[in-house]
Amino acid sequence: MKKITTATLRKMKQDGDKISTITAYDASFAKIFDQAGIHAILIGDSLGMVLQGQEDTLPVNIEHMVYHTQCVNRGVTKTLIISDMPFMSYATKEQAYSNAAKLMQAGASMVKLEGGEWLVDTIKGLVERGIPVCAHLGLTPQSVNVFGGFKVQGREKSQADEMIAHARLLEEAGAQLLVLECIPSKLGKAISEAVSIPTIGIGAGKETDGQILVMHDALGISCSYMPKFSRNFLIDTGDIKKAVELYISEVSNGNFPGNEHIFN
């Protein structure tokens, strides 16, 4: 398989091929996922919860993200690497440019930012400076205190309409990928149809252009609880590489997520 790029993912959307994505934080797991054929790896600020034992992602800083991006990059040969911009690392455009450059120099091929319309100018500036951007709408974990907890977003029509509008604005600004988290399945479908860039869902239904899972959930090793939108693929295989291959296959053939994993 050739090196996967943002152009690869865009063509997959155009061809109707599903994209499979997973988080990773070190070289060993990244190498297994790469060999299994995963399309993209996200070095998520979820590392605050699954590696550091924090209650949320807010304590993660840019130095943590740079370190784990370097680790993942050493294990990957084909997979597209996306790195999260952590909490308050892109509050201003200047901060965003400086911190995104650190992640790209560490080995990322794309950076991910959480938020809607307020990020338009920042995304334009990043893209103009040669930094590909993945946007993130829905339940944005860095805003957990604003939401009052980890709650499904977009159930009200006004909120859903606003999210669709924001998705279009983010695409116009230059975002090349869009993560949709914890939203009703119908809204995931509507946003995916409203934009030409690929959408990657996590608790956003099966009609997004792809799926992403936190590796600890996909392998059944989360120390807290299993989210509704996740599935333990390791229990079906007993082998990590085979578990990821099963995940890719189940996403590709439309078996995952199932009805039990989606929000109505």
- Catalytic site residues? 181
Q: Name the pairing type of β-strands 40-43 and 199-202.
A: unpaired
Please tell me what DSSP assigns to residue 204.
S
Do the annotations mark residue 114 as ligand-binding? yes
Is 207 among the annotated ligand-binding positions?
Answer: no
Q: Name the phi and psi angles at 101, rounded to 5.
A: -60, -40
DSSP string, 135-177: EEEES-GGGHHHHTSS-----SHHHHHHHHHHHHHHHHHT--E
Q: Is-contact 213 230, C-beta < 8 A? A: yes
| Cβ-based neighbour number of residue 194 at 10 Å | 14
Tell whether residue 46 is among the known ligand binding residues: yes
SS3 call for 29? helix
Residues in CB range of 170: below 8 A, 6 or more apart = 116, 119, 120, 123, 135, 137, 178
Confirm or deny that 112 is annotated as ligand binding: yes
Q: State the greatest distance between any 2 C-alpha atoms of the chain, in Å, as a whole number.
A: 47
**How many CB atoms are located within 10 Å of the residue 143 CB?**
13
Q: Can you say which residues are annotated as belonging to the binding site for 3-methyl-2-oxobutanoate?
A: 45-46, 84, 112
